Structure 1
Amino acid sequence: MAFTHTDQQELFLPLVEGVHETPPWGAFMRNLVARTYARRAFLIITLANAMPSQEPTVIHVTAPRAVRERQLDFRRINALGLHPYGQLRPGRVYAIDEMLDFDDPARLALQRSALAEMGIRYGRWLRVSAGGAADAWLLLVREREDFSSAAVSTLAAIGPHLAASLRTLAALAEQRLQTAMAQAALARLGAGQLAFDAGGRVMATDPQAERMLTFAPAPDPRGGRRLQLLPAASSALEKACSAIAEGHIEATAILLDPARDLHMLLRKCDLALPEPHALPAVIGTLRTSVREDERAGTRILRELHGLSDREAALAEKLSRGETIIEAGRALRLTDETARNYSKRIYAKTGTRGQGDLVREVLGGLTPFA
């Protein structure tokens, strides 16, 4: 099948760009429905490492002529027990009649009746496989007449391109997972990060930093964003970024907001990024005072160090700066019992007093609980 300029504009470019949509490929699906004269279309996406209990992503697109009809839930089609679409041969276009159970007349009648009630008389299935990373199934349905050979050819021709886009989507999903894990860990510590160029313009931020800071309402005409700061703080930020970028200093801390006593650590960017990339000159780190949920922290301390429930609860409170007496009374312990528990805590954690215990707790896994 020869690809036309219209194919490129309406199908293949939206496939490339659609991996960044949420959910993906909405424009591609709408254009495909228009090109094939389908009444409805479903795209079912399953990532290879998804949990068995996780439902697949289902993208449903309706033609304008059917937009006022009742919304069709793919789970109704799935409940009919059609031929297991996970066993379809990738790249081949199947008619919906090939999915019916002709070995069981009663079941076949039930399937036909249910499809008719949903306004589905004709359909085409296409399975696309992304090399073990993900699978997708494309279903187009019509009500009054079958799909033309041109529509079926278009669907078949899309297969390899959709497979390539699906591989890209699976790779992006893995990168997004990695990013989300890193950001969640920083957020549990109350930390946020920004990337700056040599002029102090913001190249990227994580969600925690976005919440902690205010940005200038208008984009910087030279590209990037600017933090909305008092003049003194803005000047200090620009000078520090310039000095670090030129190699005069490796790191420094500046006061961003005197009212909140909010400081930022600026250090030379040492990220290893694959090409092509726009390497920041400076990484900025913010941190607020955040601690883990006390009950979760107590549980982790108990599991890490073999403490009893009361010992772990006392250790958690001691790590927050409470005195032995204060922490013990909060737990309804006598002063003498609290002192005895603290000695056991120090012995089991290998620490030599409350200050050493604080270091052990804050430098370990407990703050991530």
Structure 2
Amino acid sequence: MAFTPADQRELYLPLIEGIHETPPFGLFMRNLVARTGARHAFLILTLANAAPDQAPVVIPVSAPRAAHEPPLDFRRLDALRLHPHHALRPERVYALEEMLDYDNPAQLALQREALEDMGIRYARWLRVSAGGAADGWLVLVRLREDFSAAAVSLLSAIAPHIASALRTLVALIGQRLQTSLAQATLERMGVGQIALDAEGRVMAADPLAESLLTFLPEPGAREGRRLQLLPDVARQLESACAALASGDGAPVQVLRIDPRRQLDLLLRRAELSLDDPAARPAVVGAVRLDRREDAEAGVIALRALYGLSAQEAALAQALSRGEPLVAAGLALGLTAETARNYSKRIYSKTGTGGQADLVRLVLSGPCPLA
């Protein structure tokens, strides 16, 4: 089947761009319904590593003439015990008659009655697979007449493209998960990051940096943003980025960018491993808040890591935050003498030589991630 300009504009481009939509492929589905003359349709997406109780993503679409009708109820359709979706051969188009249970007359009668009640007299099923990482099921239905041969041919022709888009979506979901993991960990530790080019333009910023810093659009038609800074600090930032990008001087520089909040920006030469094509930043800037893990979570982690009792772990948690021993003990209901005895046991169990060494151990271990 030859691809027409309308196919490219209405189906293939929305399919490619649809991986960035939330939920994905909405425009593609609306255009596909229009092109095939379907009354209702839905696309179900499931990920192989999703939790057992995680519901699949369902993208329902109705033609304008059926906008007043309720969307297609995929759960009711699934409950009819039609031919199992997972048993459909990927990229093959199935007609409604192929999905019915002809081996069980009673069940067949129930299926036909329910389908009629749902306004489904004609339908097409299409399964697409992303190599075991995800599956998608496309269902289109009509009420008054069957799908044309051209519509079925279109589904067959576009099936491998949907599968390719699904594989791309799965890869993108994996990248998003990696990004979310990194961002969540940094935010938990109070760290925000920005990527800068050699001239000090902001190429990217993580959510915490976006919330802490103020950005201005780059003047003119050039891409990028600038940090909103006092003129003298802005010049220092540009100079530091140029020096770090060229490799001149120290590999790290620090600028006080907000004296009122005592907010410092640590700049270091970017040494990121990025696959080409990539716009490579020259400098990575980091800001950090005075943020520690939740005290209760920290106590749980310390008990698990070093075999401390509940009281010992609570005292160790307080000491790791720089609290004086006696004051920390009193806050926990301990006498000064008991707090001193507890501290000796803490240092013994953790292999540390005092409060400063304990702080080092806690801050360099997994506790701040709790």
* Other-structure match for 1:365: 366
1:324: Cα distance to partner?
Answer: 1.6
Question: Is this contact kept in 2: 1:292–1:368, CA < 8 A?
Answer: yes
TM-score w.r.t. the length of structure 1 is 0.96
Asked whether the equivalents of residues 270 and 283 of structure 2 are also in contact (C-alpha less than 8 Å), the reply is: yes
Aligned pairs for 1:140-151 within 5 A: 140-151=140-151
Q: Give the Å deviation of 1:353.
A: 0.6
**Secondary structure in 1 matching 2:65:** helix
- SS, match of residue 203 in structure 1: strand
How much does 1:6 deviate? 1.2
Q: Distance in 1 between matches of 2:181 and 2:56?
A: 22
Contact persistence 2:196–2:285 (CA under 8 A): yes
Whether 2:94 is the aligned partner of 1:94: answer yes
Q: Deviation of residue 80 (structure 1)?
A: 2.4
Look up the match of 1:155.
155
User: Residue in 1 aligned with 2:281?
Assistant: 280
- Map of 1:254-293 to 2, 5 A cutoff? 254-293=255-294
The equivalent residue for 1:37 is: 37
For residue 246 of structure 2, what is the aligned residue in structure 1? 246
Gaps of 5+ in 1: none
- What corresponds to 2:168 in structure 1? 168
Residue 210 of structure 1: aligned partner? 210
Aligned to 1:42, what secondary structure does the other structure show?
A: strand
Matching of residues 109-188 of structure 1 within 5 Å? 109-188=109-188
* Residues 276-355 of structure 1 aligned to structure 2 (within 5 Å): 276-355=277-356
AA matched with 1:335: A
Distance in 2 separating the partners of 1:106 and 1:228: 72
Q: Is the 8 A contact 2:194 2:209 kept in 1?
A: yes
Q: Note the 1:16-31 alignment, pairs <5 A.
A: 16-31=16-31
1:237 aligns with 2:241: no
* Other-structure match for 2:106: 106
Normalised TM-score (structure 2): 0.96
CA distance in 1, matches of 2:306, 2:40: 58
Comparing 122-131 and 78-87, the one that deviates more = 78-87
Q: Distance in 1 between matches of 2:52 and 2:330?
A: 47
SS of structure 2 residue aligned to 1:216: strand
Find out whether 1:4 has 2:1 as its counterpart: no
Give the secondary-structure state (helix, strand or coil) at the position aligned to 1:252.
Answer: strand
- Contact 1:233–1:257 at 8 Å: present in 2 too? no
| Structure 1: distance between partners of 2:106 and 2:349 | 69
Instruction: Determine if contact 1:318/1:327 at 8 Å carries over to the other structure.
Output: yes
Aligned counterparts of 2:110 and 2:220: Cα–Cα separation in 1: 63
In the TM superposition, residue 48 of structure 1 has moved relative to its aligned partner by 2.0
The answer to whether the 8 A contact 2:192-2:208 is kept is yes
After TM superposition, give the deviation of residue 310 of structure 1 in Å: 1.2
Amino acid at match of 1:244: L
Q: Which amino acid aligns with 2:317?
A: E
CA distance in structure 1 between the partners assigned to 2:241 and 2:21 by the alignment: 34
d(CA) in 2 for partners of 1:185, 1:359: 19
**Which deviations, in whole Å up to 9, do the C-alpha atoms of 1:233-283 show, x marking residues without a partner?**
212111111111122132200011111010000111111111111111110
Decide whether the 8 Å contact of 2:217 with 2:224 is kept in 1: no
Structure 1 residue 218: Cα displacement = 6.6
Q: 1:259 to 1:73 in 2, by over 3 A?
A: farther
Distance 1:124 1:70 in 2: 19
User: Sequence identity of aligned pairs in percent?
Assistant: 65
Separation (CA, whole Å) in 2 of partners of 1:219 and 1:122: 57
Q: State the one-letter code of the partner of 1:280.
A: P
CA deviation map 1:2-46 (0-9, x unaligned): 111111111111111111111111111111000000011111111
1:56, 1:341 → 2: CA distance? 52
Q: Is the 8 A contact 2:41 2:72 kept in 1?
A: no
**For residue 319 of structure 1, what is the amino acid of its counterpart?**
S
- Shifted more, 192-201 versus 319-328: the winner is 319-328
Does the 8 Å contact 2:218/2:224 carry over to 1?
no
In structure 2, stretches of 5+ residues that fail to align are none
Aligned partner of 1:191 in structure 2 is 191
CA distance in 1, matches of 2:320, 2:272: 33
